[in-house]
Amino acid sequence: MATSFELGDEVRRQIEWLREQGPLAQSIATVLSAILKALTSINAHLEEMVARQRDFDEALQGLRERTGSIEEQIGEIRSRLGSVELTMGAVAEAMLSRLALESIREEGYHVARFARNYRVDEEDIDLLVWAVKNGEESLFVVEVKTRPKHGDVGSLLAKTELVQAKLAHPRVKPVLAAVYLGREVEAYARKKNVMVIRL
């Protein structure tokens, strides 16, 4: 198969031959010469475009590889952040549980016993505290939240009712222990007679 360079040489030889054949052939040779020049220019542009396309394809492949690597790194970071979030949540819960115990004592109660992660039916109680004041035992249902919402107060009240019903205790008191507590949520909790503790 002949290359475009070889075809160009053959056309040039034919044009030269036409020029020797008379005035009409010379006119045809001039037109063919102009066409050959245009085709040569188009061929050069096409070769340049093919080279650029090849460079673009290589760059695109490099970007795809880097994107894959970045996506892997983002996945690892998300995994680590999830682990940090769990750890920080556990640390905050432990600190808030201790603070809740101290706050109950500061209210004049003697803490008889307590249980973390107590289960009543299918509900998890973060901290359940049996405490005595003036000879009367009270049971504190403590919900620990980093950033509680209105719904968390409602959930705490429902857990309090469940504990009161299942444990048949006459004095069950809800306690919300939080790291970040918005004013509206705090006001709502206090309106519902929930003891509020902040870290």
Domain spans of the chain?
92-198
Please, which pLDDT band fits residue 59 given cuts at 50, 70 and 90?
A: confident
The strand pairing partners of 119, in sequence order, are: 124
Write the pLDDT tens digit of every residue in 117-161. Answer: 999 998 999 999 999 999 999 999 999 998 999 999 999 999 999
- State mean pLDDT over 66-71: 87
**Which percentage of the chain shows pLDDT scores above 70?**
93
Whole-number pLDDT of residue 93: 85
Whole-number pLDDT of residue 1: 47
Whole-number pLDDT of residue 90: 83
Residue 61 reports pLDDT greater than 50: yes
Whole-number pLDDT of residue 44: 84
Helices 150-167, 183-191: axis angle to 10 degrees equals 30
pTM: 0.63
- Give the CATH number of domain 92-198; options: 3.30.70.260, 3.40.1350.10, 3.40.50.300, 3.20.20.140: 3.40.1350.10
Please, which pLDDT band fits residue 176 given cuts at 50, 70 and 90?
A: very high
Check: CB of residue 129 under 8 Å from CB of residue 114. Answer: yes
